[in-house]
Amino acid sequence: MTKHDKSHKASIDTLCIHAGQAPDPVFGSVAPPIYQTSTFAFRSTDQGAARFAGSEPGYIYTRMGNPTIAMLEENVAALEGGVAALAAATGMAAVSTAFFALLSQGDHVVCSASVYGPSRVILERDFVRFGVSASFVDTSDLVELKRAFTPRTRLVFIETPANPTLAVTDLSAAAELAHAAGALLVVDNTFMSPILQRPFRFGADVVLHSVTKFLNGHSDVVGGILVFRDEALLKRVRPVLFYLGGTMDPHQAWLVLRGIKTLAMRVRAAQENARACAALLAGHPAVAEVRYPGLPGHPQAAVMARQMEGPGSLISFELKGGLPAGKRLLEGLKLAALAVSLGGVETLIQHPASMTHAAMRREDRLAAGITDGLVRLSVGCEGREDLLADLKQGLDALL
């Protein structure tokens, strides 16, 4: 459960609070210390040499490891059920590190078409320069997913539920296809967090998060993390992160550790609010379509029931008035902030086509289901009646 008690199989609620942490053995501090240092002193030249050689454990330089960051890594690895984790400066540092470490010239990637915009764009604009090709498909359609494989496919990158369409990919089936082709399955689990989905249970090889979102939960930190199924993958990726330099700062790590202590409570509270908001949207005359895994009739309801412990708190919807109506709604809400990001305690609303996914070509966005009128709502932990009243007044103003 913690560094001083691993014999008990704790619930995920308990792991959020205790995994990777124990009272400070020097002064007894219950909160983890922030080791805000760039470098660590050695007792002798022999010890310094041994640490650089890897024959003695210990810290050298914060880019290569730090006790506060290590606590966060152990905590998230425990939550996801992985063997170890590597914390990164941003979510995109985690994504980029995975691509740099696991891809080589001539390799091919199969990627969810509806995925966080920069995760797709870095493959399309940058990795193509190094001889890596990519196919972007609806990974919730297993026929389309299977058809996308080539003899050079080495990586399958899936975000499920997808950003922002909320299509759900069958992780077990995706893992089976990937492994049969000799490829690795990397899953971006940011939207669900380990509270609602643990991809290692379904065959994932690497799980990553933008810890900026649910794990931190307070819209005051950016960061990323990679979690590994086995030590071999960790050893393959760790030096790449260290040499690229996209590592986390100790104070970032401390803030995320503090946020994770309330992760389970926040995720469940926001999810219950989202269920109510989705029902309101689905029944409102100004709304043309609602995409939310918790609504009856979601196309991947059966998959969701197998691999998710709830539908989450992200909702995408289209208004009957299209983009003009969407702009009026985004600017007319009083409680929901017009801002990108998600997973914080506050409710945020944004327009993916002109904001988070603006770098994608319009034809690619439309093919991925990211229409010009799509609105994404990240429901927070405010009072439910307050959220519903704000959403209703904004929608009513469109009639």
Which residues are marked as active site?
63, 116, 188, 213
φ, ψ for residue 38, nearest 5 deg: -85, -30
CA distance 302 to 185: 21
CA distance 54 to 51: 5
- SS3 of the chain: CECCECCCCCCHHHHHHHCCCCCCCCCCCCCCCCCCCCECCCCCHHHHHHHHHCCCCCCCEHHHCCHHHHHHHHHHHHHHCCCEEEEECCHHHHHHHHHHHHCCCCCEEEEECCCCHHHHHHHHHHHHHHCCEEEEECCCCHHHHHHCCCCCEEEEEEECCCCCCCCCCCHHHHHHHHHHCCCEEEEECCCCHHHHCCHHHHCCCEEEEECCCCCCCCCCCCCEEEEECCHHHHHHHHHHHHHHCCECCHHHHHHHHHHHCCHHHHHHHHHHHHHHHHHHHHCCCCEEEEECCCCCCCCCHHHHHHHCCCCCCEEEEEECCHHHHHHHHHHHCCCCEECCCCCCCCCEEECHHHCCCCCCCHHHHHHCCCCCCEEEEECCCCCHHHHHHHHHHHHHCCC
Map tokens 């998710």 to a residue. 308
